[in-house]
């Protein structure tokens, strides 16, 4: 990634506690790059070591493309300081990844703007986008792009914020190993922390549900005591956990008793009518059909906006007009209502999706096509079995797709129709050969972890019904 922002060698050396071994403190950079393939002339090349490649191995390519400096933590093959012109700065650090975070923290402090940091087991990206959509009506808003939520992406996002162009920062913090959220929170120093939910996910790295909770709560531990904590009121584990924090708190949830609450008044294939309450202000709002899980994300975004000091009335005025970012889509295809929520899945998000489809009472049949829930480690079988049992209570038929999806069957009520496919391709082939399955009126929910590639199933359904 390239960051188009101006920096000077001296600032970087001081921020990262580095040693300048070539060049001079006055050499400026037009930006920072971590990719020698896309680096631009005048940029500083930051040598990061990844799973497959080590940036140190591409230092010469970066220089040949016009890099004005290097940040390194070792002398790569063929590298000789004495061979470099003095117009190129070389900064030596102990660890280039840690140094990148240190520079981002330096820049964050120089910007001196409010920052909202968002984490959670699901809904992080959607909450970030919805928060920014609301806040940008009042201030110039900067955010982490796409899924730039890790120890590389978050610092680069912060470093891309330009003085004067960003008045509020909204960043997404992800994790799959203990300590990552704490480090990211140290870098961004948020005034407002949001936890969307705590649910079994990334268990391979975090070990247990207790480990997940501890990791997410490390965000709140890094928010200064005069900051504000935003949390999901409908999760008892979070309600109890936040009691120990002295901060001001804002709770959101599916109840008008929450500080920011909502209740669904009606729903159809095109829209949902929702009553929102923000503090003491209530308003009925009609929105495009975004799913109850996204109403949680929207409520979290409203709560984050409230924490910035925006008045409830003004927030509710802009909500109907913002672009509602979602990763799910709803299609009306003849007699079939297809809900495509195939981007990701964990037990919490599947439960939310199942609770959502029960609002559609006009469909005589409901079919769930569920793929694996990945990264659950040793808990994978038991959690798939738990969801399999729950699925039986919400749908008339279920199809399970993926290697781990076979565990759904252990909990599923076998008296109801079901099918099992090892791959999404196998499921798509079945649909192609049995198009008549979708000739009756039904609701179809498709949900699973991205690795299962259930989008192939979605596209096949759309194809046979077009």
Structure confidence by residue, pLDDT tens digits, 222-247: 998 899 999 999 999 999 999 999 99
- Answer yes or no: is pLDDT of 338 > 90: yes
Ranges in the chain annotated CATH 3.90.190.20: 329-465
Q: How far is it, in rounded angstroms, from Cα 88 to Cα 82? A: 11
Burial (CB < 10 A; 0-12, 13-18, 19+), residue 452, is: buried
pLDDT at 356: 82
What is the residue-wise DSSP string for 434-449? -GGGGGS-EEEEEE--
What is the residue-wise DSSP string for 167-215? SEEEEE---SSTTHHHHHHHHH--SEEEE----S-SHHHH-SHHHHHHH
Q: How far is it, in rounded angstroms, from Cα 169 to Cα 120? A: 18
The answer to which of 52-66, 372-386, 402-416 has the lowest mean pLDDT is: 372-386
Measuring CA to CA, which residue among 350, 349, 360, 359 is closest to residue 388? 350
The answer to which of 155-164, 180-189, 375-384 has the lowest mean pLDDT is: 375-384
More confident residue, 343 or 103: 103
**2: number of Cβ within 10 Å:** 16
Structure confidence by residue, pLDDT tens digits, 104-122: 999 999 999 999 999 998 8
pTM score over 0.75: yes
Q: How far is it, in rounded angstroms, from Cα 191 to Cα 373? A: 33
pLDDT at 200: 62
Give Cβ neighbours of residue 450 (< 8 Å, ≥ 6 apart): 342, 343, 344, 374
Structure confidence by residue, pLDDT tens digits, 408-432: 999 999 899 999 999 999 999 999 9
- Answer yes or no: is pLDDT of 195 > 80: yes
Contact assessment for residue 299 and residue 404, using Cβ atoms and an 8 Å cutoff: no
pLDDT-based confidence at 289, cuts 50/70/90?
low
Ranges in the chain annotated CATH 3.40.1390.10: 2-96
pLDDT-based confidence at 398, cuts 50/70/90?
very high
Average pLDDT over residues 79-88: 94
Q: How many CA atoms lie within 13 A of 273 on its CB side?
A: 4
Structure confidence by residue, pLDDT tens digits, 122-141: 889 999 999 999 999 999 99
Q: How far is it, in rounded angstroms, from Cα 55 to Cα 44? A: 12
- Answer yes or no: is pLDDT of 281 > 70: yes
- The per-residue pLDDT of the chain, averaged, comes to 92
- Answer yes or no: is pLDDT of 36 > 90: yes
- Answer yes or no: is pLDDT of 207 > 70: no
CA triplet 216, 217, 220: central angle to 5 degrees?
A: 120
Contact assessment for residue 412 and residue 406, using Cβ atoms and an 8 Å cutoff: no
- What CATH architecture does domain 2-96 belong to? 3-Layer(aba) Sandwich (3.40)
Measuring CA to CA, which residue among 399, 338, 401 is closest to residue 372? 401
Q: Which residues pair with 399 in a beta bridge?
A: 369, 419
Choose the most confident range, by mean pLDDT, from 96-110, 139-153, 375-389.
96-110
CATH class of 113-321: alpha beta
Topology of the domain comprising 329-465: 3.90.190
Ranges in the chain annotated CATH 3.40.1190.10: 113-321
């Amino acid at each position: 990634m390239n960051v188009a922002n101006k920096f000077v060698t001296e600032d970087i050396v001081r921020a990262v506690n580095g040693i300048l071994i070539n060049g001079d403190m006055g050499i400026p950079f037009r930006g920072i790059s971590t990719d020698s393939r896309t680096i631009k002339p005048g940029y500083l090349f930051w040598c990061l070591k990844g799973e497959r490649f080590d940036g140190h191995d591409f230092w010469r390519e970066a220089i040949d493309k016009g890099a004005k400096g290097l940040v390194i933590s070792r002398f790569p093959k063929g590298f000789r300081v004495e061979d470099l012109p003095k117009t190129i700065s070389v900064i030596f650090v102990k660890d280039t990844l840690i140094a990148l975070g240190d520079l981002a923290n330096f820049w964050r402090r120089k910007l001196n703007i409010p920052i909202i940091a968002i984490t959670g087991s699901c809904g992080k990206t959607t909450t970030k986008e919805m928060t920014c959509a609301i806040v940008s009506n009042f201030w110039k808003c900067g955010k982490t792009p796409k899924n730039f939520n890790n120890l590389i992406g978050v610092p680069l996002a912060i470093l891309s914020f330009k003085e004067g162009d960003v008045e509020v920062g909204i960043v997404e913090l992800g994790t799959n190993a203990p300590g990552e959220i704490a480090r990211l929170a140290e870098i961004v120093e948020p005034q407002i922390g949001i936890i969307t939910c705590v649910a079994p996910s990334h268990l391979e790295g975090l070990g247990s549900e207790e480990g997940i909770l501890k990791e997410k709560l490390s965000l709140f531990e890094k928010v200064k005591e005069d900051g504000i904590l935003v949390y999901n009121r409908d999760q008892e584990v979070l309600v109890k956990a936040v009691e120990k924090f002295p901060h001001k708190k804002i709770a959101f949830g599916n109840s008008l008793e929450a500080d920011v609450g909502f209740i669904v008044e009606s729903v159809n294939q095109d829209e949902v009518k929702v009553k929102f309450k923000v503090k003491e202000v209530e308003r009925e709002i009609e929105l495009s059909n975004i799913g109850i899980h996204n109403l949680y994300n929207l409520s979290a975004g409203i709560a984050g906006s409230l924490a910035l000091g925006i008045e409830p009335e003004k927030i509710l005025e802009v909500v109907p007009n913002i672009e509602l970012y979602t990763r799910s889509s709803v299609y009306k295809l003849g007699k079939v209502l297809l809900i495509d929520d195939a981007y990701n899945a964990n037990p919490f998000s599947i439960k939310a999706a199942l609770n959502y489809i029960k609002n559609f009472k006009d469909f005589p049949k409901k079919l769930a096509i569920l793929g694996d829930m990945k990264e659950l480690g040793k808990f994978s079988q038991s959690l798939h079995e738990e969801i399999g049992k729950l699925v039986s209570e919400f749908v008339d038929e279920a199809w399970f797709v993926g290697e781990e999806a076979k565990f759904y069957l252990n909990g599923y009520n076998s008296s109801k129709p079901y099918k099992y496919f090892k791959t999404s391709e196998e499921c798509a082939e079945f649909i192609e050969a049995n198009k008549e399955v979708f000739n009756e009126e039904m609701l179809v929910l498709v949900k699973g972890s991205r690795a299962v590639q259930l989008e192939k199933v979605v596209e096949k359904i759309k194809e046979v019904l077009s």
